[in-house]
Chain A
Amino acid sequence: MEHLRIPIGRVIELSIDLFTEHFSFITIAFSQVTENGIKYLVKAMMFFPPWTLILIFTGLAWYLSRRRGIALFALIGLALIWNMGLWAPTMSTIALVFISTLMAILIGMPLGIVSALSQAAYRIIMPILDVMQTMPAFVYLIPAIPLFGLGPVGAIFSTVIFAMPPAIRLTCLGIRQVPVELIEAADAFGSTKSQKLFKLQLPMATPTIMAGINQTVMLALSMVVIAAMIGAKGLGGEVWKAIQRLQPDRGFESGIAIVIIAMIFDRIMQRIGNKKEETETR
């Protein structure tokens, strides 16, 4: 049977080779931007003494969610992380998540809009998303190495790919959910396509899009941890080290720090989404 094998793997390998050989300017540019982005973001965050940042984050949590409970949780959680001596890796994890999420949204939302408005794009993009979402996360780490080498850039690359599907999917869903009658009304008053998009479809899709972004953040966080295997620093790196050195104490402490970050993000994002709905239904 060996001679009948369809060379799927080989084709993918060859295309990655081709890309590294002839389109390296793209990967280099991507590397430059993300590497510098992470470097300066981490530098900026590490510039402040941890307690000022804890207060800033707490204030931000309160401002965004308007819930004292969430703000209090952020305060205690972050203080605990500081206390466990995991402040620096936590900051670098947050920076990685922030940059990957931003990129996932910047790429994902336009794709979502296109697939909502064009049936042809929808038919092409949706099956790709299905594949992307069922593919084991580890697989995305492999092309990152030849393209970007070990380190945070490769980590961000695979994280963006892994975290992007919900941003695309829910943007598309949110726009498609706008009732036909409203679209008809917008048309009947003579709206252009872009007026329809920005004045009706996107505003009405906002709660759904926010839910998608929330999922993107959560997926980014989980992938950033896995991406420690290809050299992403941060809390994932701590866990990875703990596995290799068989240090359950360190491993669990880092795990708890990840949970704390995830919960703070999740609660705040959910509140932003809901708050939007509440002002609508007030």
Chain B
Amino acid sequence: MTEKIVVENLYKIFGAHPEKGLKLYQEGFSKDDIMEKTKQTIGIADVSFTVNEGEILVIMGLSGSGKSTLVRCINRLIEPSYGKIFLDGVDITGLSEEELRKLRQERFGMVFQHFALFPHRTVLKNVEYGLEIQKVPPPVRREKAMQSLEQVGLKGWEDSYPEQLSGGMQQRVGLARALALDPDIMLMDEAFSALDPLIRRDMQDELLDLQERVQKTIIFISHDLDEALKLGDRIILMKDGKIVQEGAAEDILTNPADEYVEKFVEDVDISKMITAETVMKNPIQVASFAHDGPKAALWKMKQAGISSIFVQHKSRLQGLVSADDAVQALKEGVKDLTGILQTDITTVLPDTPASELFPLLAESSPVAVVNAEGRLKGVIVKGTLLAALSEGVSNNGTS
């Protein structure tokens, strides 16, 4: 994984004398104290993180946490006070106005919370805007704009004005406008927050679809944890201009760094977030349909301390053999597992949420977790699921 963007010790202090604010901050004063003493507002403080190429990094926090300031510092719409930002190894905080403009034209696409479409321009003219200011010849920019409109499913709307479109469609235009430039980095500032929940979910799905195809490096700002969990390969949680926690969705849910994060994740239904993959155990022993007879199967069960064993053939799960049946078969002198193989076993995919596992486990235990190719990935028994959930709940509900 290549590091696309590296942010090092970034500060944004609003006010005429950021050095005063910085000094007090480093002496350990709080944001409010600094405001009172120096009239300087800490926007973001000592923020360092990296964004890997091709990932979606979600920066999350409540309003006032500095997340929007942070994303604007990355393309210097807001000039950071201190610190460095490296893009492909080049520090962009020192670029001249001209170089910065070029960088914004070629590398960054930005999508805004309230769409920020130009009302006096048609949809097509909006999408063309970035190319137009780069003086791309009209036929070329028209073609590119049409392509990106097609990507977001708005073909046929190019001559409409933004006002004639619904919110969801307007944001698609916003997305197309950013994509038309074919930037390698997309900055999305609460891009879906102004949309109603149903449309928002659709747009999230579409963004993920789109990302499969275009593979951009995306920095996505959100105040919505569900959105962050759905979109983010990694999540950064901010409070008062600082990073409180950084990690994959699961880390944040199951190991909240402090009370603030706990509060944040409280509302999330843990049984929806925990999937079969997280609670399954590796199968310690698996019987091979081709080589193992009842005796070998029994021996493997004894080794693993289990009362039934899954049977695979050529890496595909075939079924289950119980210890009782194996003993019976051994007594009868049968040499293979064909007769005692139970094939009507319950299987689930790795991303099945825990909430759906309960009823399955009530009917039959164990449940096999198999991937789309039918390969056995893990085993879930009632005990493992309950243990995982209680762990999640106790981590979550103690504030």
Question: Of B104, B119, B163, which is within 8 A of A190 by CB?
Answer: B104
B133 contacts A195, C-beta separation under 8 Å: yes
A175 to chain B, nearest CB (A): 14
> Number of B interface residues, CB 8 Å?
30
Beta-carbon nearest neighbor of A207 in chain B: B120
**Neighbour of B116 across the interface among A182, A204, A280, CB < 8 A:** A182
**A199 CA to B132 CA, complexed, in Å:** 10
Q: List chain B residues, Cβ under 8 A from A282.
A: 161, 164
Q: Among A182, A184, A281, point to the contact of B77 (Cβ < 8 A).
A: A184
Which residue of chain A is the closest to B163 with respect to CB atoms? Answer: A281
In the complex, the answer to whether B101 meets A190 with C-beta atoms within 8 Å is: yes
Does B66 reach chain A (CB closer than 8 Å)? no
Interchain CB contact under 8 A, A280 and B119: yes
For chain A, the count of residues having a C-beta within 8 Å of the partner chain is 21
The answer to whether A280 and B161 touch across the interface, beta carbons within 8 angstroms, is: yes
In the complex where A190-B104, A281-B161 touch, is A185 in contact with B116 (Cβ < 8 A)? yes
Surface stretch bound by A, among B107-115, B142-150, B334-342, B375-383? B107-115
What residues on B are CB-neighbors of A280 within 8 Å? 119-120, 161, 163
Using Cβ atoms and an 8 Å threshold, which residues of chain B touch A188? 75, 77, 104, 108, 110, 187
Give chain A interface residues in 177-208, CB to chain B under 8 Å. 179, 181-182, 184-192, 195, 199-200, 203-204, 206
Q: How distant is the Cα of A11 from the Cα of B212 in the complex, in angstroms?
A: 75
Q: Specify which of B101, B103, B106, B112 is in contact with A185 (CB 8 Å cutoff).
A: B112
A200 touches B102 (CB 8 A): no
User: Chain B, 100-139, contact with A by CB distance < 8 Å: what is the 0/1 string?
Assistant: 1111111010101110101110000000011011100000
Closest-by-CB residue of A relative to B187 is: A188
How distant is the Cα of A76 from the Cα of B112 in the complex, in angstroms? Answer: 53
Specify which chain B residues have a CB less than 8 angstroms from the CB of A195 in the assembled complex: 133
CB distance from A88 to the nearest CB of B (A): 43
**A200 and B116 contact, CB distance less than 8 A:** no
Q: Mark A197-223, 1 if CB is under 8 A from B, else 0.
A: 001100110100000000000000000
Q: What is the CA–CA distance of A249 and B153 in the complex, to the nearest angstrom?
A: 70
Q: State the CA gap A187–B72 with chains docked (Å).
A: 11
CB-defined contacts of B110 to chain A, threshold 8 Å: 185, 188-189
**Which residues 57-107 of A sit at the B interface, judged by CB distance below 8 A?**
none
CA distance A206 to B118 in the complex (A): 14
**Which residues on B sit within 8 Å (CB–CB) of A199?**
129, 132-133
Within 8 Å by CB of A187, from B77, B120, B132, lies: B77
Q: B114 — nearest CB in chain A belongs to which residue?
A: A181
User: From residue 132 to 191 of chain B, which have CB atoms closer than 8 A to chain A?
Assistant: 132-134, 161, 163-164, 177, 181, 187
Contact B120 A184 (CB under 8 A): no
Chain A, Cβ-Cβ closest to B110: A188
B76: nearest chain-A partner, CB-CB: A187
Q: Which A residues lie within 8 Å of B120 (CB)?
A: 203-204, 206, 280
- Considering the chains assembled together, what is the distance between the CA atoms of A181 and B77 in angstroms? 11
Which single residue of chain A is at the shortest CB-CB distance from B105? A190
Min distance, Cβ A193 to any Cβ of chain B, angstroms: 10
Contact residues in A for B101 (Cβ distance below 8 Å): 190-192
Contacts of B130 in A (CB 8 A): 189-190
Please state if A200 and B118 are interface contacts (CB–CB under 8 Å): yes
Give the one of A189, A190, A199 with max B CB within 10 A: A189
**8 residue pairs, one from A and one from B, having the closest CB atoms:** A190-B105, A190-B104, A185-B116, A188-B110, A189-B130, A181-B116, A190-B101, A203-B120
Besides A181-B112, A189-B177, 18 more A-B contacts (Cβ < 8 Å) are A181-B113, A184-B72, A184-B116, A185-B118, A188-B108, A188-B187, A189-B104, A189-B110, A189-B181, A190-B103, A190-B105, A190-B133, A192-B101, A192-B133, A199-B129, A204-B120, A280-B119, A280-B163
19 A-B pairs (CB sep. < 8 Å): A179-B116, A182-B118, A184-B112, A184-B116, A185-B118, A187-B77, A188-B104, A188-B108, A188-B110, A189-B104, A189-B181, A190-B103, A190-B106, A195-B133, A199-B133, A200-B118, A280-B119, A280-B163, A281-B161
* Contact surface of B with A, Cβ cutoff 8 Å: 72, 75, 77, 100-106, 108, 110, 112-114, 116, 118-120, 129-130, 132-134, 161, 163-164, 177, 181, 187
